[in-house]
Structure 1
Amino acid sequence: MSDIVLSAQGLVKKFGGITATNNVTLDVRRGARHALIGPNGAGKTTLINLLTGVLEPTEGKIVLEGEDISNLAPHQRVRRGMVRTFQINQLFASMTPLETLALVVSQQRGFGASFWKPLGARAAVAERAEQLLQQFHLAEVMNQRTEHLAYGKRRLLEIAIALACEPRVLLLDEPVAGVPAGEREELLQTVAALPADVSVLLIEHDMDLVFSFADRMTVLVNGGVLTEGNPEEIANNHEVKAVYLGSDVEAMHAA
């Protein structure tokens, strides 16, 4: 079995005359905590949209556990184990965390959407939903409508939904963006405690989170890979500091 669980190989995405992703090659190892960083406009979102099937690459291919998934639809990639954190949509806004997670777990296990009426007979669904509620600090709000949850709790629910899909690769898309300072610690602890057997690709601007979480980092600039390395190598890279992180990154990393 290969140590590489997800591989982007020579990915190019052009929008007319603009090259948003320029020959990006990226390997995510099994069990990795891999961060994708870069300034605004570096191409991070485009790359994630290519990996998840929202966009089709102009050139290159994407390989998940040895299978070329470049032409698969987003839902087919989810079924094969690559899941991106979900934004809470209108469906989930009117549901409670318990209902939402029971629905996702039920669909993941092949029971379809008719999950609620026979939930008592679906002991495994109820048990898994309960585990997720506990793991993501949602038990005390499990019967509140999602639209009434604090923002940090909604972000926790997004990650819980993604994990309910039983991913082998989890794309964490800016999990602490917009979360008030008072709600961040719970979220950071939860991210740090994600299952070791799930490979994580983290897209994040918060360098405190990146350096505390990642064991590997890829830096994108102008749609291409500037460099890749472990956190110490990135913190001490003069090119990275010049274009993105700034001179205070060493002090931050040391802290």
Structure 2
Amino acid sequence: MSAPVLETLDLVKRFGGLLATNSVSFTLERGARHALIGPNGAGKTTFVNQLTGVLKPSGGAIRLEGRDVTHSRPEARVRLGMSRTFQINQLFRTMTPLEMLLLVLGEREGRGLHLWSRLDARADLVREAAAIAERFRLDDVIGETIATLSYGKQRQLEIAAAFAARPKVLLLDEPAAGVPEAERQDLLNIVSELPAEVSVLLIEHDMDLVFRFATRITVLVNGTVIAEGEPAAIAADPTVRAAYLGGESGDA
């Protein structure tokens, strides 16, 4: 059996007297379709912020492909193959989807903003950006200003931008949040069609999306893992149903 692509060992995060992450040991297998769920205040976003380096853990360890990244900066984790989306999108609203994707590709190539001065010499990146836009159903709006796009299209673009970094691990933090019902099917299809070689951790309150996507689910309550298993087992677990599936939505 291959080593997990991402794991945490007794991860702890304290905010003063509040224990937001309580000795969480978690494993994301290579090629996984894994969901993290939990009620309001469960600590899901705190956990993801530790995985990505936004928050420094108070204790424990984080390993990416066996490498200790507990104290690595966020940009270093991106270079090592970890990419994420956010609950609220982080797009440059004055750009077009093509420009946004090219910016990510330029960063990935180590060129950043210098890419713009030699765009004519990097037709390969333009082709790659166009192919990514098509994969994520953005080819029809590739030249439009991001601010004018529907919210569903903006969420699709954020996932596309995260994918453009060529991640080994992709963390999707509530991709369906705020997306109108009419646009959710496209989003569900896009998430379902992500390549098998990308290991995905989905943090989501939309249970339809969770149960249609995930083959394994971890349940977090008050910073503690209370259950983990296949979707059918999680849905039938009375402790989980009492803590989350029959309770309120939200996050902290």
CA contact (8 A) 1:97 1:142 kept: yes
Change (3 A) 1:245 1:88: closer
User: How many angstroms apart in 1 are the aligned matches of 2:178 and 2:217?
Assistant: 23
Aligned to 1:250: none
| CA deviation after TM superposition for structure 1 residue 186, in Å | 0.7
Aligned to 1:78: 78
User: How many angstroms apart in 2 are the aligned matches of 1:88 and 1:37?
Assistant: 20
Share of identical aligned residues, percent? 56
Q: 1:202 aligned to 2:202? A: yes
User: How many angstroms apart in 1 are the aligned matches of 2:107 and 2:19?
Assistant: 38
RMSD (Å), alpha carbons: 1.4
User: How many angstroms apart in 2 are the aligned matches of 1:241 and 1:3?
Assistant: 31
TM-score (ref. length: structure 1): 0.93
Question: Gapped runs of 5+ residues in structure 1?
Answer: 248-255
CA contact (8 A) 2:168 2:197 kept: yes
CA contact (8 A) 1:120 1:126 kept: no
| CA deviation after TM superposition for structure 1 residue 52, in Å | 0.5
Letter paired with 1:11: L
CA contact (8 A) 1:2 1:65 kept: no
Q: Aligned to 1:175, what secondary structure does the other structure show?
A: coil
| CA deviation after TM superposition for structure 1 residue 117, in Å | 3.8
Tell me the alpha carbon deviations over residues 176-202 of structure 1, each in whole angstroms, 9 at most, x when there is no partner: 000001111111100100011000000
| CA deviation after TM superposition for structure 1 residue 89, in Å | 3.9
Aligned to 1:234: 234
Aligned to 1:97: 97
TM-score (ref. length: structure 2): 0.94
CA contact (8 A) 1:37 1:217 kept: yes
Letter paired with 1:191: V
| CA deviation after TM superposition for structure 1 residue 244, in Å | 1.0
Aligned to 1:110: 110
Moved more, 112-121 or 195-204: 112-121
Aligned to 2:11: 11
User: How many residues end up aligned between the 2 structures?
Assistant: 246
Q: Aligned to 2:116, what secondary structure does the other structure show?
A: coil
User: How many angstroms apart in 2 are the aligned matches of 1:2 and 1:73?
Assistant: 26
Q: Aligned to 2:25, what secondary structure does the other structure show?
A: strand
CA contact (8 A) 1:35 1:204 kept: yes
User: How many angstroms apart in 2 are the aligned matches of 1:49 and 1:111?
Assistant: 26
Higher relative contact order (CA 8 A, sep 6+): 2
| CA deviation after TM superposition for structure 1 residue 113, in Å | 1.3
Letter paired with 1:42: A
Q: How does 1:130-209 map to 2 (within 5 A)?
A: 130-209=130-209
| CA deviation after TM superposition for structure 1 residue 115, in Å | 2.1
| CA deviation after TM superposition for structure 1 residue 112, in Å | 2.7
CA contact (8 A) 2:11 2:21 kept: yes
User: How many angstroms apart in 1 are the aligned matches of 2:71 and 2:232?
Assistant: 36
Aligned to 1:253: none
Letter paired with 1:21: T
Tell me the alpha carbon deviations over residues 184-242 of structure 1, each in whole angstroms, 9 at most, x when there is no partner: 11111001000110000000000000000001100001110001001111011111111
User: How many angstroms apart in 1 are the aligned matches of 2:180 and 2:40?
Assistant: 21
User: How many angstroms apart in 1 are the aligned matches of 2:169 and 2:57?
Assistant: 20
CA contact (8 A) 2:3 2:66 kept: no
